[in-house]
Chain A
Amino acid sequence: MKQSWGEKAFYGVNYFILSLAALSCLLPLIHLVALSLSSGEAITLGKVGLWPVDPTWEAYRKLIQGTDIMNALRNSLVITVVGTALNMAFTVLAAYPLAKKHFYARRGLTLAIVFTMLFTAGLIPNYMLAKELGLVNTYGALWLPGLVSAYNMLILRSFFENIPEELEEAARIDGCGEWRIIGQIVLPLSLPAIATVSLFYGVNHWNSFFNVLMYINDSTKFNLSVLVQNMIQSQSLLAEMAMLDPEAFTQLTPESIKSAGVLVMVVPMLLVYPFLQKYFVKGALIGSIKG
């Protein structure tokens, strides 16, 4: 069909606005890369835009040598992997029974769980409980209080509900117990949902900040978020590094090290993001429409 003048204008403007929106998400990250690879002098003079000026790896070298970032990276990985595995186990255990129509307590228990989405005891009572249980300063405080997210449980439950009952009936007649039905029929059929929910939990653990700030005092147990946030906020660390090695530091400014630190946190996310994209859109929809 031939486009009218007005339509051409509309499409032109549309593509322009969307390009701006997309670039606004991309360019700050590229700017960050450029900062992290540029010399201190160039940053101070404001010459760095989207391309590194006087490229140098010095910021990354200093970051690895002068800070706990490698340890924090390891901590982030441990928190994420163990946490997500625990989350998935418990979320399946919650969602499977609640997806069964013949389960006695289905409605009451679902309501009791949804209520915890709407009303929480708040910071202090939760902290006191963790303290009572001896969880403060252990990763248990990051894993246990959030074992099941009601929201993710609802996503998984609606997937389970859509698995045809006949499949399970057939397996039962063939002599499968409930556990084998879950392991060999329900879970393999719900792989998209499992991937989505794991991604949500994983991203959450990788990004966790407030909980670490609240429950972990031992700086060797900090994850990337807290370490990098401390780096961003404090000049003292960088001043200290400058004292230790004034020679190397003249080439750097705090900005380059900060941006290198932020990138260490972003890159792993960017690596998994493209692979999981097809799953999470679906998950987001189910989670937001059904209750």
Chain B
Amino acid sequence: MGKASADGGAVLRNGSLLRRRRWNQNKPLLVMFLPVAAFFLLFKYAPMLGLAIAFKDYNFADGIWGSPWVGFANYEYLFNNPKTLNIIRNTLVLSALTVFVGFPFPVVLAILLNEVRRAWFKKWVQTLVFLPHFLNWVIVGGLVLMVFALESGFVNNALHALTGQKFPFLFHETSWIAIFVGSGIWKGAGWAAIIYLAALTSIDPSLYEAANMDGANKWKQLWNITIPGIQPTIVLMFILNIGNVMDVGFDQVYVLQNPVVVNVGEVISTWNFKVGLGAGQFSNATAMGLFESLIGLVLVLTVNQIARKFGRGLW
């Protein structure tokens, strides 16, 4: 009896049967995955072929493949044109400010929330600070315009009552940038704090008890236990955020933009939309888009290499 079953096991293990079993297991999965694969090929990979028009002089009559190749002429135009250089600079400045200025806010928010002992208070604050993440930029933009409007805005009304003067917040380059960065922090800080909150719960509470016994005050506990405890998460998130420096997004810029601040407020995505779809300069817009995507890719890959050194790479 024992011998027979051992033989049976040997047959099962000897390859072809196992391979057939694996094929039978895989068949339904492959069928399932087929529509998904078709989706990725058609909607994600096929457009990459369309990137060819970055190196062509595209015209509607000849189409993508019939239009003449022009090599890097589109890039020569982009990189010799002060206006497009300004747009690239704006993209970098706005997104770098978003990343670097905005970075500490979720960390501080999470640490403060973690210190709250009253559960109901914590829950209320969390509910409210997560909320803006779910409002889109049209809503947030509308709020910003109404709060900072020159004539009937809340802030200018208050300012007028206090000083007798008003200030054109949305039409002044410096204050526009401040409002841009600030509105990004307002919308995103609560949501971004979630990951630090999770990291904070993994700190061993006995460390605080021990510190308390030794007479360490709140400030010292924060500095010597809390911060080191979430440091790996902070480093990782910081590195990952740098990977997004090229990506300032379309919606936020578009809804906050106005013609007066176009000198600091036009970025690659909005320019692409206006010049590409609006004015039909397909080749230039595609060339700019490819440039943006490539820099973004390089940044993410570099940053992931660095993150791996901290043992926390994305893949």
Contact = CB atoms under 8 A, between A and B. Distances in A.
Q: Is the interface of A mostly helix, strand, loop or mixed?
A: helix
A129 B47 contact: yes
Interface in B186-202: 186, 190-191, 194-195, 198
Contacts of B296: 118-119
Contact of A232 (B25, B40, B138, B219): B138
A172 B210 CA distance: 53
A210 B43 contact: no
A155 to B, nearest CB: 14
Nearest to B31: A178
B174 interface: no
Contacts of A113: 40
Given A28-B143, A49-B154, A124-B272, A277 B195 contact: no
Nearest to B145: A232
Interface string A215-235: 000000000011011001000
A196 to B, nearest CB: 12
A123 interface: yes
Interface hub of B51, B152, B219 (most chain A Cβ within 10 A): B152
B137 interface: yes
A178 B43 contact: no
A163 B183 CA distance: 40
Contacts of B217: 4, 6-7
A232 B145 CA distance: 9
A102 B127 contact: no
Contact of A90 (B39, B53, B149, B250): B39
A207 B45 CA distance: 26
Interface in A239-291: 253, 255, 258-259, 261-262, 265-266, 269, 273-274, 277, 281, 284-285, 288-289, 291
Contacts of A289: 195, 198
Interface in A93-140: 93-94, 96-98, 100, 102-105, 109, 111-114, 116, 118-129
Nearest to A96: B32
B101 interface: no
Interface stretch (B6-14, B87-95, B111-119): B111-119
B258 to A, nearest CB: 9
B292 interface: yes
Interface in A1-22: 1, 4, 6-7, 10-11, 14-15, 17-19, 21-22
B128 A120 contact: no
A18 B113 contact: yes
B235 interface: no
Contacts of A112: 40
A15 B121 contact: yes
Interface in B273-294: 273, 276-277, 282, 285-286, 289-290, 292-294
Contacts of A109: 33, 37
Interface residues of A, number: 92
A121 B293 contact: yes
B286 A203 contact: no
Interface string B97-134: 00000000000010011011000010011011111101
Among A31, A209, A281, A285, chain B packs the most CB atoms within 10 A around the CB of A209
Interface stretch (A57-65, A77-85, A142-150, A187-195): A142-150
Nearest to A112: B40
A112 B39 CA distance: 12
A29 B147 CA distance: 10
A184 interface: no
Interface of B: 22, 25-26, 28-30, 32-33, 35-37, 39-40, 42-51, 53, 64, 109, 112-113, 115-116, 121, 124-125, 127-132, 134-139, 141-143, 145-147, 149, 151-152, 154, 157, 160, 186, 190-191, 194-195, 198, 212, 217-219, 250-251, 254-255, 269, 272-273, 276-277, 282, 285-286, 289-290, 292-294, 296-297, 300-301, 313-315
List of 5 A-B pairs having minimum Cβ-Cβ separation, nearest first: A122-B289, A125-B50, A207-B136, A121-B47, A46-B157
Given A210-B250, A214-B277, 5 more contacts: A90-B36, A129-B43, A209-B137, A213-B273, A281-B194
25 contacts: A10-B115, A10-B218, A11-B115, A18-B112, A21-B125, A23-B128, A32-B143, A93-B35, A97-B30, A97-B32, A104-B22, A104-B30, A116-B44, A119-B297, A120-B44, A121-B289, A122-B272, A122-B292, A123-B286, A124-B276, A127-B277, A255-B152, A269-B135, A273-B131, A291-B314
